[in-house]
Amino acid sequence: MKQQNALKQVAEMARIADRYVSAWGDEARVEDETIRRLLASLGYDTSSDDALLKSAEKKHRKDVLEPVLVLREGQPVHVELNLGSSARESEFSWRLETEQGQILEGYLQSQIVTDERDNGGPLTFALPKDLEWGYHKLSVLRKRRKSPYEMMLIITPEQCYKQPAMLANKKMWGPSVQLYTLRTQHNWGIGDFGDLKQLVADIASRGGDFVGLNPIHSLFPANPEGASPYSPSSRRWLNILYIDVSSVPEFALSAKAQQKVGSAEFQQRLQKARDAHWVNYTEVADLKMSVLPLLFNEFKTRHLDKNTDRAQAFLAFVEQGGDSLLHQAAFDAIHATLHAQDSNMWGGPVFPEEYRRFENSGVQKFIQTNQDLVHLYMYLQWVADSQINEAQALAEEKGMAVGLYRDLAVGVADSGSETWADDGNLILDASIGAPPDILGPLGQNWGLPPLNPQTLQATGYDAYIKLLRANMKHCGSLRIDHVLGLLRLWWIPKGENATKGAYIYYPVEDMLAILALESHRHQCSVIGEDLGTVPDEIVEILRDAGVHSYKVFFFETSKEDGGFLSPAHYAQQSMSALCTHDMPTLRGFWHCDDLKMGAELGLYPNQEQLQGLFADRLKAKQGILDSVAWHGFLPEGVGRDAQFVPMDTHLAQALQLHVAAGSSALLSVQLEDWLEMDKPVNIPGTVDEYPNWRRKLSMNLDEVFATESVNQIAAQLTKVRATASK
């Protein structure tokens, strides 16, 4: 019994749940071995019960002053001091330096709220309560003690920022795109930041208020086939393959670059890369990385060597990027060098020992001897940053209420720069995923190491704050993938499958409060992707924090009869959509292409399950037709029996307008559905079976916006949204 108690006791302290409600609604237990391994990954000594309890006691011993206190405006500012009962209050004074530069001081004695030291509790004192939002430094000084006790006091707004148009209840729409799928006659075989500007202008002129993007985090330029935007090298930096090369100012100045690009051979390769139906990442990377270094050389000669204003702007960017930018640039430089020698060098875990971790002396030596190469990757991050900034500036100039909305992936790959240079923020012995559910009986292991919640608190949430800042730059809204991860994440011990995991809980109130503060600072509203198994407790917490929920029409059904909910009943504080990048397109869904493809790829265990899915789909389609007809959006001439009704332009438009008439503040549409495409960009659960993250749009942007049906649906959306359920 004692063993169970020790394990259980410490698991509770570490906020590891030993049971959870499964997707089938019953209670599932977590194996002791899983808990033991996760505790070990968090740094507890699991060699024996006594050792476990001792290490827990040491780990959870309270400092006199906690490292951080996060409060929302209006809450009383009560600070706990963990002191022995012999300490005299008269020995203490406090000093608060606010972020705005104000200094407040006082004595403890006159501000004590409660004293529970006799019962092993804290001594609590109050600070002035009308403090401004921000990151403030509190010092508690004690007579005859040299150094003060210190805490970061974070005061935040109650809710995330909302654009004035949102507060005025404007109903907005815009497309959500995977940037790499865009085609134009001037890109280099992959949608880029130049194409994004073109799309922004096209959508703004048709009444759209935003353009949503897939995560544009840095990936692996030296291993370009590692293309999943949800397994980034770092979430703090950008994917340099999205650089629009010919728009970089140095391109117009570099005769060498222009000569190279202008050659018949290069032009032929560009045309071939553009014409391909799937993004050829290896070729795109090869084309861009053969020209971008020439632009950097030009930049050095014309700017760095002469210390021009442009050079100053770059150096300021490097200064601001600090260690994190150095990690990214050094990683990419080393990776490129190693990959050129051996094409099996796919990422950090296979680097030679001397380069395996950022702090290794071999890495420091490499940085010194290859400064130019490291600086090249810093320059490319700067160029990418400038180009995404231009796209957002253009959106604002064109009157879009939101502009770009970016997507924050749930974690980083265990093979990228962030794990390579990690100094304790990540748990490298575990990875996150999802427990078994109806569609995935084996659960999911995403191969992404989780942030350590204990380190987050000990460091005043430093890594989390920097992450939000990097992703709220240059956009009007941020979508947080798997936002439930702010409450809890499914951790899986390294090397195990997803069934052997457990939920670990995070300080959700603190994290949402900081999210609200950064959201106001960057004037960036927040959308939380809250699909999947959603614990009841988070729904309210997110709503109160001003985070927009995510409503996918096909999933919004009534618990009673399974019928489709009217979009007029969706929460106003939400974004609605018909389809997402993880689902079939509208046409694919309607014609069951996803089920047929799944069967071909062997995703279903047996014929019986497949037949069940086909029957469910027909039922869903019938429910959709009935709902759309009942709401008056079904065009004349479209039949009422789902068995015989194909997906065509009229039905596709009807479905989009049906959701557009709903009450969600934001409506996301997909260009794929405007073009009546059938192939998806991603099939969850596949790796080699399907070319995920590569499928392009079926026509280029000029053609898209010269298409009558596209202009028709855009005009209709603007009209219907203007009178949508208020």
Report the distance separating Cα 292 and Cα 221, nearest Å: 12
Q: Which of 59, 7, 5, 2 has its CA nearest to residue 502?
A: 7
Report the distance separating Cα 529 and Cα 536, nearest Å: 15
User: What CATH number has the domain spanning 68-156?
Assistant: 2.60.40.10
The model's pTM: 0.96
State mean pLDDT over 356-369: 98
Report the distance separating Cα 408 and Cα 307, nearest Å: 35
Q: Which of 409, 404, 377 has its CA nearest to residue 388?
A: 404
Q: Provide the 3-class DSSP secondary structure of residue 144.
A: coil
pLDDT digits (tens, 9 = 90+) for 157-206: 999 999 999 999 999 999 999 999 999 999 999 999 999 999 999 999 99
Query: How confident is the model at residue 455, as a pLDDT?
Result: 98
Residue spans per domain, the chain: 6-60, 68-156
State the pLDDT confidence band at 3, using cuts at 50, 70 and 90: low
> Does position 603 have pLDDT exceeding 80, yes or no?
no
State the pLDDT confidence band at 439, using cuts at 50, 70 and 90: low
Report the distance separating Cα 280 and Cα 189, nearest Å: 7
pLDDT digits (tens, 9 = 90+) for 269-288: 999 999 999 999 999 999 99
State mean pLDDT over 447-468: 97
State mean pLDDT over 291-320: 98
- CB count within 10 Å of CB 322 equals 10
| Region of poorest pLDDT, from 368-382, 451-465, 551-565, 687-701 | 551-565
Q: Which of 116, 117, 96 has its CA nearest to residue 106?
A: 96
Query: How confident is the model at residue 313, as a pLDDT?
Result: 98
State mean pLDDT over 369-394: 98
Contacts of 472 (CB under 8 A, 6+ apart): 406, 478, 518, 519, 521, 522, 524
What is the rounded average pLDDT for all residues in the chain?
95
Query: How confident is the model at residue 1, as a pLDDT?
Result: 41
> Does position 139 have pLDDT exceeding 60, yes or no?
yes
Query: How confident is the model at residue 717, as a pLDDT?
Result: 98
For the packed helices 281-299 and 371-397, what is the interaxial angle rounded to 10 degrees? 100
Higher pLDDT among residues 579 and 232, named by residue:
232
Contacts of 480 (CB under 8 A, 6+ apart): 408, 486, 526, 527, 528, 529, 547
> Does position 2 have pLDDT exceeding 60, yes or no?
no
653: enclosing H helix or E strand: helix 649-660
> Does position 725 have pLDDT exceeding 90, yes or no?
no
Query: How confident is the model at residue 126, as a pLDDT?
Result: 97
State the pLDDT confidence band at 13, using cuts at 50, 70 and 90: very high
* DSSP assignment of 165-208: HHHTT--EEEEEE-GGG---SSSSSS--HHHHHHHHHHHHTTT-
pLDDT digits (tens, 9 = 90+) for 658-690: 999 999 999 999 999 999 999 999 988 788 889
> Does position 519 have pLDDT exceeding 50, yes or no?
yes
Report the distance separating Cα 298 and Cα 278, nearest Å: 33
State mean pLDDT over 64-73: 97
Half-sphere exposure of residue 383: CA atoms within 13 angstroms, side-chain side: 27
Report the distance separating Cα 10 and Cα 312, nearest Å: 52
Q: How far apart are the first and last CA of the chain?
A: 59
Report the distance separating Cα 82 and Cα 608, nearest Å: 62
Q: Could you tell me the two tokens for 249? A: 């100012």
Contact in structure between 527 and 548 (CB atoms under 8 Å): yes
